[in-house]
Amino acid sequence: GESVGLHLPTLSVQEGDNSIINCAYSNSASDYFIWYKQESGKGPQFIIDIRSNMDKRQGQRVTVLLNKTVKHLSLQIAATQPGDSAVYFCAENISGGANSKLTFGKGITLSVRP
Amino acid sequence: EPEVTQTPSHQVTQMGQEVILRCVPISNHLYFYWYRQILGQKVEFLVSFYNNEISEKSEIFDDQFSVERPDGSNFTLKIRSTKLEDSAMYFCASRETGGKETQYFGPGTRLLVL
Sorted by where each starts, the structural domains of chain B and their CATH numbers stand as 5-97+105-113 (2.60.40.10)
B4-44 pLDDT, tens digit per residue, is: 999 999 999 999 999 999 999 999 899 999 999 998 888 99
Q: Which domains, from first to last, does chain A contain?
A: 18-113 (2.60.40.10)
Judged against a pLDDT cut of 70, whether residue A64 lies above it is answered with yes
Q: Quick check: B99 contacting A, CB < 8 Å?
A: yes
Q: What is the mean pLDDT of chain A?
A: 89
Q: How far apart are CA A85 and CA A17, in angstroms?
A: 13
pLDDT mean over A40-57: 94
Cβ neighbours of residue A3 under 8 Å, at least 6 residues apart? none
Q: How far apart are CA A6 and CA A108, in angstroms?
A: 12
Q: Quick check: B102 contacting A, CB < 8 Å?
A: yes
Q: How far apart are CA A103 and CA A90, in angstroms?
A: 8
Q: How does A24-41 read in b/e, with b if 16+ C-beta sit within 10 Å? A: ebeeeebbbbbbbbbeee
Tell which of A101, A108, A109 to mutate to test the B interface (max B CBs under 10 Å): A101
Judged against a pLDDT cut of 50, whether residue A6 lies above it is answered with no
In the 8-state DSSP scheme, what is residue B46? E
Q: How does A68-102 read in b/e, with b if 16+ C-beta sit within 10 Å? A: eeeeebbbbbeebeeebbbbbbbbbbbeeeeebbb
Backbone dihedral angles phi then psi of residue B51, each to the nearest 5 degrees = 55, 40
A71: helix, coil or strand? coil
pLDDT mean over B84-97: 95
Judged against a pLDDT cut of 70, whether residue B106 lies above it is answered with yes
pLDDT mean over A1-14: 64
Q: Quick one: pLDDT band at residue A94, thresholds 50, 70, 90?
A: confident
